[in-house]
Structure 1
Amino acid sequence: MRYLPHTEADRRAMLAAIGAKDVDSLFRDVPAAARLDQPIDLPRGQSEMEVERALSRMAAKNLSAGSVPFFIGAGLYRHHVPASVDQLLTRGEFLTSYTPYQPEVSQGTLQYLFEFQSQVAMLTGMEVANASMYDGATACAEAAVMAARVTKRGKVILSGSLHPHWRETTETTLKYTGLECETLAPDPLAMEDLMGRVDSRTACVIVQNPGFFGGIKDLRPLAEECHAEGALLVVAVADPVSFGLIEPPGAMGADIVVAEGQSLGMGLQFGGPGLGLFATRDKYVRQMPGRLAGQTVDADGKRGFVLTLSTREQHIRREKATSNICTNSGLCALAFTMHLTLLGETGLVRLAELNHALAVRLETKLKRVKGVRVLGNSYFNEFALYLGEDKDASEVVDALAERGILGGVAASRFYPEWPELRPILLLAVTETTTESDMDALVAALTEVL
C-alpha cells in the first residue's frame, strides 16, 4: 500500500482553506488531453529487496563506461580520478558548508575557492577567475553577455567549432537578452575563416579550441582581428586536461576563457553535474559574472579570505547585476582543485602528453580499416573520423554497441539537419584507454564497415 500521511479530514480541511471543491479541481487548468485517464502502468508494490533486484536487472542492460572499450567524448570525458579525491570529498565539513557570505565561519570554503580561482587563472593564462559556474555551456552564455556589457555592442559571433550544446545555451540566452547572434556552420575540417566577419557591431567572437571536431588552431591572428575592431575574443575549452599541452588561450590573446571542468576530479556521472570555469583579464573583473573569493588580512594582520566585488542581483539593483548565476559549483570546484593539486604542474603535462600519444596511437591503428580517414591535421585527444560517403555513423555506433564497444558519438546526433555530417564519427581517447581497447575497436570497425 502507498504511504499517504494525510487523513480524509486533513484533505477536506486543506481543500476548504483554498476554496477547492475536490482534488480533481486542482487540475482544472491542465488540458484534458494532457491528463491520464487511468493510473500509470507500474507493477504492484513489492518489498525493498524485490525492487532492488528488479532495478539491478534493468540497469544491467546498460553498457557502463568502465565495463567495455570506451571512446565517447563530445564534451564530457572519462579520465581516471584518484580515489583520494572522492575520499576527501566525503568529509562532513565539505558536504555541509553553507554559502560563504559570513567569512568568520567560512574560511576553509573561501580558501579553497581562492586556490581554485588561482589554478584556473594559471591554466587559462588569464589574470583573474571566478569561483566557478554551473557548467561550460552556461559559462559560455555568460561570457557572451559580459562581452556585450564591456563593448556596449549587440552582436555575438559563434564559431562552427563550438560545442552544439554550448551554442544552443548561448543562443537561448542571447535571444532573451535582446542580443543578435550569428552562428556559423559546423566545421569538421577546421578550415573555418573568421577573419573579416568582425565589424564595428561585434561584441565578441566565441571559438572553441580544440574544436568540437577536435581541430586545434593558433588563435593569435583572430585575437588581433577582434581587438582591431574593438571586439573581444572568447575561447571555450571542453577538456581542461588539454591545458597541459596546448598553449593557454590567454597567451594567444583571449579576453575571456570558459571551460568545462568535469575532466578533473569528476567522473561522467551519467552526464552531470558539470563545472563551469570562467577567467578573464583584470581590467574586466567588475563585469565578470559569478562569485569571486579574495584574499585580505583581518584586524590582527593575519591572512584571511572573503567574497569580494559581489555585483550580483542579491547585492545591487537587478539591472546592474552582472549575472543571474549566483551559486558556484562548490563541491565540484573542490574536487577539481584536489585532483589538480595531486597532479601538480608536471603531472598535468604528463597526463596531457599521454592523452595525445594514445590518440595518435589510435589514429595509426585505424589506418588498417579500409575507407576511413581522420579529418583535419591536428587534435588533442579527440578527432573526427570519416567513415565513407555511404556510411551512417549512428548505425555504426549501434553496431559497435551490439559488439560490446562504446565506439564514439555520431556527429549527426548533434546536427540532424546536416546530412553531410552523417558519415562522421567522433572518437575520444584518454589515459583510461588501453591497447586492447583500441584493437577491439579497430577489429569491430573492420567487421562493421
Structure 2
Amino acid sequence: MRYLPLTPADRSSMLETVGASSVDELFRDVPEAARLSGPIAGLPMHASEMAVERHLGKLAAKNLDAGSAPFFLGAGAYRHHVPASVDHLIQRGEFLTAYTPYQPEIAQGTLQVLFEFQTQVARMFGTDIANASMYDGSTACWEAILMAARVTRKGKAVLSGGLHPHYGEVVRTMAKFTRDEIVSLTPELSAQTDDAAVIAAIDETTSSVVVQYPDIMGRIPDLEAIAEAAHAAKALLIVVVTEPVALGLLEAPGHLGADVVVGEGQSLGVGLQFGGPYLGLFGCREKFVRQMPGRLCGETVDAEGKRGFVLTLSTREQHIRREKATSNICTNSGLCALAFSIHMSLLGGEGLEQLAAINHDRTQALVERLTQIPGVSLLSDAYFNEVTLVLPRDAREVVRELADKGILGGVSLGRLFPEQVDLHNGLLVTATETVTLEDIEEFAAGLAAVLEGEAA
C-alpha cells in the first residue's frame, strides 16, 4: 500500500472542519507534563543500524530473566511451564496467520478451536457459557461491569479491596466515560477478606459486586455469602480470577453463586512476555447471553446434516447499530486463546488438578521455610499458590536488595498500593511448579541475610 502524505492545504481543511486551530490542539487532553516539547534529551538524532543493535543489546542485558533466577513473582502474571507442543502448534500457518472467521466455510478449524476454548473456559468457571475470549483480564472485568449495568439498569459497582489495583484503575478510568459510580473499598493487611465490608456496601442502586478469587493478597473470599447479599439487592456478582490454575483445586465460582466470571488466561499456554499480549476470559449465565460482550462461536449442522461451526453471536459495533452494540471489542485474542486451549487439552481435567496440587505443595514448602526467618509472618493460612508475608520493614526495599542478589523475591504491596502506608510491609510471593526446593532455599537465605543486615 502506498503512503500518500497530506499537503498543508489538506491539513488546514481538516483542522477547519473539526474546529481546531492547529494539530497541537488535538492533543490538549494529554496532560502538559506528559507532552514532549522537543527531541528527547540525550537521544542522538541518528545512529547506524549496528550501533543501535549493540546499544539495545546492552540495555536488554540489564534484565534479570525469569528463567535464569529464583522467581517468586505473581500478582496477576504467573510463570508456568508451557509445553513445547503449544508453541509448535500455534505457529502452524493456518493458525498463525488466521484472522476473524467471517466466512465459516473457509474457517472451520479456527471456529472449532474457539468453540472448544469456550467449552473449556465455561467448565473451568462453572458458567453456562463463555465467549471467544477478550483482550485481557482487566478489560474483561470492566466489560462485565458494563454488562451488569445493562442487565440490572442500575449504575453502581462495588469493588472489593481484594481486587487487583490495576484492574480497579482500568475500571475507574473507563467509568469516567460512562458515568457509572464505582465504590472501591480500601484493602487491609488482614488475615480475613473484606466480605463483610463488601456486603455492607451493597444497596438497591448496586448493579454489580466485583470480588477477586483468590484475591490480590492470596486470600480466599466467601463467594456464597457475597452472592446471597448481591442477589437480595438484585445485583450481579462478578468474580475475577487472575490465576486460572487455582480452579484445579478451588470450587468453580459459577457453582458458588457468581453470575459473571472473568479473568486472565495467561497462566495456561501463554508466557510472561514482558506483560503481554495476554488473554481475557469471560463466562456468564445463559440468560445473559444477549448482553455478553465479544463474540460466541456455536456448533450447528449444514444442509447435508454434517457438523459445523459458525459465529453465533457477534454484537459489536462493526456488525450492528452502534447504540445496540454490547461492546466495541473488535476481535478476540485468538492466538493466545489457541495456546490456552492447546495447553488445557494437553492437561485435561485430571492434569489441571495435579498441576494445581503441585503449585499448592510448592507454596506450602515456601511458606514453611520463609516463616522460620525471624520477623517474617504469614498473613493468612487460606491460599493457593500465592501468599502475603508480613516483614519487619518496607518490602519495597527488601525486594530491591534481593534483586541485587539475583533473586526475584516477590511483589511488594507498597508497589501495588503506594499511597497506603499500612500495607508497605506486605510482600506477595508466588510459587508455581517451576520453583524448585533449591530456589526456595536460595530465597530464604537471601531474605534472611537482607533482614539480618538491616537489624545489624
**Match of residue 64 from structure 2:** 63
Residues 244-393 of structure 1 correspond to what in structure 2 (within 5 A)? 244-388=248-392, 391-393=393-395
Instruction: Please say if residues 246 and 384 of structure 2, whose CA atoms lie closer than 8 Å, have aligned partners that are also in contact.
Output: yes
- Point out the more displaced range, 173-182 or 258-267: 173-182
Q: Deviations over 1:15-55 (max 9, x none)?
A: 576579xxxx986658999432688632853353x543332
* Aligned partner letter, 2:429: L
Counting aligned pairs with the same residue, the percent is: 56
Instruction: Please say if residues 85 and 338 of structure 1, whose CA atoms lie closer than 8 Å, have aligned partners that are also in contact.
Output: yes
Q: Deviations over 1:394-430 (max 9, x none)?
A: 1101000000001111111121110111111110110
Query: In the superposition, relative to structure 1, how do residues 187 and 100 fare at CA in structure 2: closer, same or farther (>3 Å)?
Result: farther
**Match of residue 414 from structure 1:** 416
Give 1:195 deviation, angstroms.
Answer: 2.3
Instruction: Please say if residues 188 and 376 of structure 1, whose CA atoms lie closer than 8 Å, have aligned partners that are also in contact.
Output: no
**Match of residue 43 from structure 2:** 41
Q: Note the residue ranges of structure 1 that are not aligned, 5 or more in a row.
A: none
Instruction: Please say if residues 193 and 221 of structure 2, whose CA atoms lie closer than 8 Å, have aligned partners that are also in contact.
Output: no
**Match of residue 113 from structure 1:** 114
Alignment partner of 1:231 is 2:235: yes
Match of 2:441 among 432, 439, 442: 439
SS at match of 1:101: coil
Query: In the superposition, relative to structure 1, how do residues 14 and 180 fare at CA in structure 2: closer, same or farther (>3 Å)?
Result: closer
Give 1:367 deviation, angstroms.
Answer: 2.2
- Point out the more displaced range, 88-97 or 279-288: 88-97
* Aligned partner letter, 1:344: G
How many residue pairs align between the two structures?
434
Q: Note the residue ranges of structure 2 that are not aligned, 5 or more in a row.
A: 14-20, 452-456
Instruction: Please say if residues 291 and 326 of structure 1, whose CA atoms lie closer than 8 Å, have aligned partners that are also in contact.
Output: no
Query: In the superposition, relative to structure 1, how do residues 240 and 17 fare at CA in structure 2: closer, same or farther (>3 Å)?
Result: closer
* TM-score calculated relative to the size of structure 1: 0.92
Q: Deviations over 1:266-318 (max 9, x none)?
A: 11000111100000001111110001001111111111111112222122221
Give 1:175 deviation, angstroms.
Answer: 2.3
* Aligned partner letter, 2:436: T
| Displaced runs of 4 or more, over 6 A | 25-28, 30-33
Instruction: Please say if residues 130 and 290 of structure 1, whose CA atoms lie closer than 8 Å, have aligned partners that are also in contact.
Output: yes
Instruction: Please say if residues 359 and 431 of structure 2, whose CA atoms lie closer than 8 Å, have aligned partners that are also in contact.
Output: yes
Give 1:105 deviation, angstroms.
Answer: 1.1
Structure 2: distance between partners of 1:262 and 1:148:
27
**Match of residue 77 from structure 1:** 78
* Aligned partner letter, 1:42: P
Q: Deviations over 1:137-168 (max 9, x none)?
A: 00000000100111111111000010011111
Instruction: Please say if residues 362 and 432 of structure 2, whose CA atoms lie closer than 8 Å, have aligned partners that are also in contact.
Output: yes
Structure 1: distance between partners of 2:55 and 2:40:
24
Structure 2: distance between partners of 1:63 and 1:276:
27
Structure 1: distance between partners of 2:40 and 2:304:
69
Give 1:228 deviation, angstroms.
Answer: 1.5
Residues 215-230 of structure 1 correspond to what in structure 2 (within 5 A)? 215-230=219-234
- Point out the more displaced range, 364-373 or 38-47: 38-47
Query: In the superposition, relative to structure 1, how do residues 146 and 57 fare at CA in structure 2: closer, same or farther (>3 Å)?
Result: same
Give 1:200 deviation, angstroms.
Answer: 1.1
* Aligned partner letter, 1:437: D
